[in-house]
Structure 1
């Protein structure tokens, strides 16, 4: 009886191990699509921000180039949940870094300069370069 129980237990363990090893591999295109969706969600949140006398326009480094540095800058105002957008942008940077490293991506290594200032125009923050 003990031998049968042990065989059944080992059989279940083997099935579990096989199930975990048979998961579909995520492709570069799948990961790129996930990153793009995350980027679009962040940009959609930022674009809902408005500027006026009671809010401040800000920017954050956004994304990650394979050679280092941000891929660009995200412009937003303090009319939205700034802690949330800062957390989302940090998460996106980390995922971008991991993606670039995992897939061995290269870039032109050019430096993306931050805005020299940000102005409020028609209730929207606008970067000035």
Structure 2
């Protein structure tokens, strides 16, 4: 019986640490998934705001950088109409950019370091804004 106690205590400790480490990994992966979902929902909200106005006159549209590449700089650009609540829209864009930067740092992500060029203007194509880079 004494040998059984000597074996069972270390075995019990190993089992407990295994369970804790599995739960810890699962917690962190769910946390990352939660962070990704939060970013996706915010981007969806931003896109809905941009899409709520039909693009009929390109002069009514503006361009703003959005997101954060892990290597630095913006990840892309988005067009928005001057006819929407631009203050709210730009606040959401800024919030998204900061959250993506924090996400990249938190999860130690990396990206290419290519510079994302800014579009030159917006054109209206079939009622939707199109970013023109030339």
TM-score bracket, normalised by the shorter chain, equals 0.7 to 0.9
Task: Quote the offset at 1:84 in angstroms.
Answer: 0.8
* Contact 2:53–2:81, Cα closer than 8 Å, also in 1: yes
Could you list the runs of 5+ residues in structure 2 that have no partner in the other structure? Answer: 1-26
Given the alignment of the two structures, is residue 28 of structure 1 paired with residue 32 of structure 2, yes or no? Answer: yes
Larger Rg: 2
* TM-score (norm. length: structure 1): 0.73
Which of 86, 90, 110 aligns to 2:90? It is 86
* Contact 2:67–2:76, Cα closer than 8 Å, also in 1: yes
User: Matched residue of 1:43: which SS?
Assistant: helix
* Contact 2:65–2:74, Cα closer than 8 Å, also in 1: yes
Q: Provide the aligned length of Structure 1 versus Structure 2.
A: 106
* Contact 1:55–1:79, Cα closer than 8 Å, also in 2: no
User: Matched residue of 1:27: which SS?
Assistant: helix
Which structure shows the higher helix fraction?
Answer: 2
Aligned partner of 1:39 in structure 2 is 43
Given the alignment of the two structures, is residue 66 of structure 1 paired with residue 39 of structure 2, yes or no? Answer: no
Given the alignment of the two structures, is residue 118 of structure 1 paired with residue 119 of structure 2, yes or no? Answer: no
User: Matched residue of 2:111: which SS?
Assistant: coil
Shift in alpha-carbon separation, 1:107–1:53, aligned structure 2, 3 A = closer
* Contact 1:60–1:74, Cα closer than 8 Å, also in 2: yes
* Contact 1:55–1:78, Cα closer than 8 Å, also in 2: no
* TM-score (norm. length: structure 2): 0.71
Could you list the runs of 5+ residues in structure 1 that have no partner in the other structure? Answer: 1-23
Aligned partner of 1:19 in structure 2 is none
Aligned partner of 1:49 in structure 2 is 53
